Chain A
Amino acid sequence: MRHIISILMENESGALSRVAGLFSARGYNIESLTVAPTEDPSLSRMTLVTRGSDQIIEQITKQLNKLIDVVKLIDLAESAHIERELMLVKVKTTEANREEIRSMTDIFRGRILDITPVTYVIEMTGPSEKLDAFIAAVDPESIIEVVRSGATGISRGEKGLHL
């Protein structure tokens, strides 16, 4: 199953490599990983998407918790949560496909950020699945470049991941 693990960790140079090293050393898979400082500059927040059986996910969270730099973590998939990912897509445009791409972007609630005579840059946010769906809908021939941030997320309700 797919899990989104959200980690609060010390904002120190070695912290990221400790997490990445743990995943490669133990053979866990990482689908995506995003990290940035939080409102508290001493902490950064990492969101990591991984897949595995319940037993593997249990080991992953336990092993992450063992890292001294990890302050706290939650597995967002365990309860109601909101997931978002940012994607930028550069597509080739022609007389023939311009209208179609524009309307598709509208349907997916994306925005066109940049236009040249032969390209569009489209911005889109949403759960990773929605971004996948957009890519699947666009003619692959017209795609020049896709950049995705990796998923990030937050739990619903009053609870939150903080110190």
Chain B
Amino acid sequence: MELSGAEILIKSLEDEGVEYIFGYPGGAVLHIYDALFQQDAVKHILVRHEQGATHAADGYARATGLPGVVLVTSGPGATNAVTGIATAYMDSIPMVVISGQVPSAVIGSDAFQEVDMVGISRPCVKHNFLVKDVNLIAETIKKAFYVASTGRPGPVVVDIPKDITDPRIKVPYKYPKKVHIRSYNPAVSGHKGQIKKAVDLMLSAERPIIYSGGGVVLGEASKELTEFSQLLGYPVTNTLMGLGAYPATDKLFVGMLGMHGTYEANMSMHESDLIIAVGARFDDRVTGKLDQFCPYAKIIHIDIDPASISKTVKVDVPIVGEVKPVLEQMIELIKDSKKTPSKKALETWWKQIKDWQSIDCLSYDRESPQIKPQFVIEQLYEVTNGEAFVTSDVGQHQMWAAQYYRFDKPRRWINSGGLGTMGFGLPAAIGVKLAHPKADVACVTGEASIQMCIQELSTALQYKTPIKIVNLNNRYMGMVRQWQEFSYESRYSHSYLDTIPDFVKLAEAYGHVGMRIDKPEEVRPALEKAFAMKDRTVFLDIITDQTENVYPMIESGKAHHDMKLRVTATGTTTDRELA
């Protein structure tokens, strides 16, 4: 079969099993768009901004585990995609981004719409390619998918000069079944000796805690993590990226840890004598002050990326491997072992944890005449039976969604953790809805974040992806305002948007349903009504308490046991001195 470069590219995507490609046309990719037009195996989703394409592909990838695919033109198309590529990179999301490039003959001459995409994207991709020969397109695409989706996943950019896709130049096409890259050999099952050593430590721990992260979601090891944890009966905490990997409603779950983690999760970390880190990367939002991090604990760390191990915190038992096979081996060893965890020690430990839990660090004023954002998330949880896919933007609303929506399944909580990209939520929700057309998809956002990719409301109409936008409208960049309140004596420098649009009218202008809710008793009925409209995108503009802050909070530079807690209505602080 003889095909042009453009046809080879599209056929390769088809043969790779790609369902959707998110893109935006332009000069350098016109040959490719022409080839797209003449087939219908690969469906193209036309976004309104290339950043939207990357986030939508990313949302699709997070919801399915399959690589998201993006197609953009050279120059501004490529640079607009960079934020989304960096977002995927920081959270280890598999993605293949195809960017057009100026014709080979003029590369380097400051040609029209030329940027060095390979150079610009280098620091935020797992790998990138410049295709210099039409005969290499199929193999390069295969390699791109292989690299993006194996080992520690990540985005891969394939930059293709226009002449390589010329419809007049046809060459034989065959999509390789397999590729081998001699310098890239991921997928390891973990060192047996280290696994044994880890299990021995686990069975003699007295105050253990399982700290699991995004690696469990990425490695599809939720079932194994659950079995492993329940076999041991140890408390489990999740990072922001790990939420859902362990069922939040289970009694072993002590909530998220870190800067806005629960009191019990952070105290358990601080007092623990054994941290079992599973697919988590000791991010600074999790560790707090490094030299006071888990002062009494030995640390076991399972991670596929050796560079994640002992990067910031020195670990005692490193295990390089995929979480799934490593946990499977551990489960076997624990089952076969004569030794069992000390019942007495564990009882004392759980008693201590229950004591911390009794502080009820997530309580808030339920009697308030204003709408509390936490209440909205709780209602969202109930109305969707805890089964929705929830995307979010970045800010306070993101933390409240993480704290109050109890995710029992992986891949349901979809947010930008590492880069913290405002504008992520709406396009990501479109990608999720395409992947799961029957599921409820909510985008929890703020009035500042939503405006960063609001244009994608138009995409949502064109492709009939009915999502529910829950805008926690506090008339502030709340997260920024909170930091200014705590650290800058309430000097709210530029964290207030003076002219917030009428979101109801805006939603209607885009062809959707808009609702404005400003009383607590309206929240539940509005959510019910919105989710009952199965085929409509609904924008719920919910006017929330402007002064609300996210608690608990470990301010930067502080240790885990040094949390700022909510001051309750009676004026007494729940903060207390701990021995």
Task: Show the binding face of A for B, using Cβ within 8 Å.
Answer: 9-10, 14, 17-18, 21, 25, 55, 58-59, 62-63, 65-66, 68-72, 163
Contact = CB atoms under 8 A, between A and B. Distances in A.
Nearest to B143: A68
Interface string B523-560: 00000000000000000000000000000000000000
A53 B16 CA distance: 44
B183 A68 contact: yes
A62 to B, nearest CB: 4
Contacts of A69: 183
Nearest to B305: A66
B307 A17 contact: no
A59 B306 CA distance: 9
A148 to B, nearest CB: 28
Nearest to B129: A14
Interface stretch (B115-123, B326-334, B456-464): B115-123
A65 B306 contact: yes
B97 to A, nearest CB: 16
Contacts of A59: 307, 311
19 contacts: A14-B128, A14-B130, A17-B119, A17-B122, A18-B122, A21-B122, A21-B123, A25-B123, A55-B310, A59-B307, A59-B311, A62-B306, A65-B306, A65-B307, A68-B126, A70-B183, A71-B182, A72-B183, A163-B182
A95 B527 CA distance: 96
B28 to A, nearest CB: 20
Nearest to B132: A13
Given A21-B123, A25-B123, A10 B183 contact: yes
Contacts of B306: 62, 65
Contacts, number: 36
B184 A68 contact: yes
Given A18-B122, A58-B310, 13 more contacts: A9-B183, A14-B128, A17-B122, A21-B122, A55-B310, A55-B314, A59-B307, A59-B311, A62-B306, A63-B307, A65-B307, A70-B183, A71-B182
B33 to A, nearest CB: 27
Interface string B295-308: 00000000001110
A146 B127 CA distance: 38
B147 interface: yes
Contact of A68 (B123, B147, B307, B310): B147
Contacts of A63: 307
Given A59-B311, A62-B306, A68 B119 contact: no
A117 B314 CA distance: 61
B181 interface: yes
A62 B119 contact: no
A69 B184 CA distance: 8
Contacts of A18: 122
Nearest to B309: A62
Nearest to B124: A25
A63 B307 CA distance: 6
A69 B143 CA distance: 13
Contacts of A65: 306-307
Given A9-B183, A55-B310, A68 B127 contact: yes
A58 B307 CA distance: 8
Contacts of B307: 59, 62-63, 65-66
Max chain B Cβ within 10 angstroms of own Cβ: one of A18, A21, A62: A62
- Nearest 4 pairs of A and B residues by beta carbon: A62-B307, A71-B183, A68-B127, A62-B306
